[in-house]
Structure 1
Amino acid sequence: MNLASVDLNLLVAFEALMDERNVTRAGARIGLAQPSMSSVLTRLRALFGDELFVRSASGMQPTAKALSLARPISDALGQIRGVLAPGSGFDPATASRRLSIAVTDYGDLVVVPPLVAALRREARGIDLVVRPIIDAAVSVANLEHGDVDALIGGHLPASARIARTTLFEEHFVCIRDAKRARQKVQLTKDDYTRLPHALFSSAGGDGLPGAIDTMLARHGRKRRTAVTLAHVVAVPFAVAGTDLVATMAERIARRFASSAGVHVVPLPYDVEVFPIDLLHTRHAITDPALRWFIELVVRVGTKL
């Protein structure tokens, strides 16, 4: 294809359609009336030889071809916007701005404290609002709609409209009451399934099976969950002074081990590490303040 023959504004229209899933709203977003936007869609279909978006009761649904194009087109437009953006004009030391992020419990405990410290050192005029991620899919939708500037956490769902950067990887470990851990440093696989467990459930304490239970099932084993807690920070304090064992992310376990009176011990099973990710919209690169903030989060995260 001869690139000179392609109207790159069609790609901007494609991106708007992918985001809005509605011809009228997509047109309004890029300054086109509905008839003009319909004409643009016709040209897009001719360009890619595919319907791209099909009408349904819930709006214009992208075809498989459109979904495969969404990320590379968004990435390409992001690069172009970054090149064409005027000089940043952003000085974190003097800037005044309000930013908002949504985080999991893990992100709140592990990433947010050093991030706040970095903001206080480098950008005292930037105010940060931290919201909880209760429903990950809802939080991703909020990010897509601009209600928050970024998400931080593990196991966050993917979206073609969202850029993802892995900050670091996390491991699972066990915690036990400190006195009991000194008596037996290593847990065997039999110990692990014999002992009663304390479990953190972000769903409000319903104790639904998670990654550990799925792993145990593959080994033909099952654990007994004796206590289910709604807040992760409560887990080490519930384990202390009891015969309970709990499985936790290592960075959280080590942060509270000393104050709670528990010891960190190895998990006697091999469990895959999981990434802690930063999610932001692909348009963030065109906002100097957001671009700086995203770089700051990455810088902070890679040191954890």
Structure 2
Amino acid sequence: MTIIVTMNLAAIDLNLLVAFEALMEERHVTRAGQRIGLAQPSMSSALARLRALFGDDLLVRTAEGMQPTARALALARPVSEALEQIRRTLDSGPGFDPRSARRHFTIAVTDYGDLVIVPALVEALRRDAPGVDLTVRPITDAVESLARLERGEVDALIGGHLPVSSRTTRQSLLMERFTCVRDASHAAPGISLDRADFVRLPHVLFSSAGGDGSPSAVDAILSEHGHKRRVAVTLPHVVAVPFVLAGTDLVATMAERIARRFADVAGVAILPLPYEVPAFAIDLVHGLRATSNPAMQWFVDLIVKTCRTI
């Protein structure tokens, strides 16, 4: 807020700052107006007044759409934080009661979130908030999913390696590690694969991009040791991996919590990897306004609390 305190506050219409926030989030005059209930001419007028107020174009039209100037980017977070403080101060409404609430949340998740986190989250919702409904959408394009979060089309994203922006925040839910999976009949009890066998055996690879040629974390580690594996089968859905390799000589590298969900039903064994592959974080990404919305804050807290039990 220090960027704007030196200005004459009497000359600032609070509604202009609300318009600025919407413009920065939407990067589109009409959509920004729809968000705050202004017609397109009124929103254009608000943008003109903002430009005069800050002495800057703020948003300029390009071939990729309206893009913020350096001045607008510098203003975005302080203005948003100032508005959030005002919202919290003025919010004297009742708190969120999950037991009696009728509410709907929408999240977008990776395959990992769908298989590992969503079942536990749904169980918690049915137990603690039976009137709360949940829609789960897939993350097929992380950048597009982030844009949908910024537009308010989804309430949160859950998964690994998710992007963030100045209008969102990320918090870690849990750490996951990789493990080796192979048909149970080929795995001797207590005996792990050595590095030579791991490289020699044909592999099943999960790739939502269809095997686009980008090296995985496992391939990067193998390359550091001068090794290269043969990927005999590439699959677009991680849930198919243990069922495809069952009954074959194939092996696969999977997130441990996913592998454990399917080990018994698919008839596969879980073995330690013979290489040190770094663990990775599963994150929750949500909008900056979550902390000022009692329902959203409760939902975020429930996700975090649920993941502590997984």
Matched, 1:156 2:158: no
**CA deviation map 1:104-135 (0-9, x unaligned):** 11001100011000001111011111111122
Specify the alignment match of 2:52 in structure 1. Answer: 42
Which runs of 5 or more structure 2 residues have no equivalent in the other structure?
A: none
Structure 1 letter corresponding to 2:119: P
Deviation, structure 1 residue 207: 6.6
Matched, 1:21 2:63: no
2:104 to 98, 107, 126: 98
Matched, 1:211 2:217: yes
Deviation, structure 1 residue 159: 1.8
Deviation, structure 1 residue 236: 1.2
Matched, 1:57 2:59: no
Question: Quick check: 1:24–1:37 contact (8 Å CA) kept in 2?
Answer: no
- Shifted more, 79-88 versus 23-32: the winner is 23-32
Specify the alignment match of 1:243 in structure 2. Answer: 249
Specify the alignment match of 2:191 in structure 1. Answer: 185
Secondary structure of the equivalent of 2:238?
coil
Question: Are the structure 2 counterparts of residues 109 and 190 from structure 1 closer, same or farther at C-alpha, using a change threshold of 3 Å?
Answer: same
* Counterparts of 1:22 and 1:216, CA distance in 2: 46
Q: Give the paired residue count.
A: 300
- Shifted more, 177-186 versus 237-246: the winner is 177-186
- Shifted more, 114-123 versus 65-74: the winner is 65-74
Question: Quick check: 2:164–2:285 contact (8 Å CA) kept in 1?
Answer: no
Structure 2 letter corresponding to 1:34: S
Q: How does 1:106-125 map to 2 (within 5 A)?
A: 106-125=112-131
Specify the alignment match of 1:277 in structure 2. Answer: 283
**CA deviation map 1:164-207 (0-9, x unaligned):** 22111111111122232226722232222211101111124667
Deviation, structure 1 residue 293: 1.1
Specify the alignment match of 1:202 in structure 2. Answer: 208
Structure 2 letter corresponding to 1:43: L
2:5 to 3, 6, 19: 3
* Counterparts of 1:273 and 1:79, CA distance in 2: 37
Question: Are the structure 2 counterparts of residues 253 and 63 from structure 1 closer, same or farther at C-alpha, using a change threshold of 3 Å?
Answer: same
Matched, 1:296 2:302: yes
Structure 2 letter corresponding to 1:39: R
Which runs of 5 or more structure 1 residues have no equivalent in the other structure?
A: none
Deviation, structure 1 residue 213: 2.2
Structure 1 letter corresponding to 2:305: R
Structure 1 letter corresponding to 2:114: D
Cα RMSD (Å): 2.7
Specify the alignment match of 2:149 in structure 1. Answer: 143
* Counterparts of 1:245 and 1:136, CA distance in 2: 28
* Counterparts of 2:162 and 2:221, CA distance in 1: 20
Specify the alignment match of 1:255 in structure 2. Answer: 261
* Counterparts of 1:87 and 1:276, CA distance in 2: 34
Question: Quick check: 1:82–1:285 contact (8 Å CA) kept in 2?
Answer: no
| Identity across matched positions, percent | 59
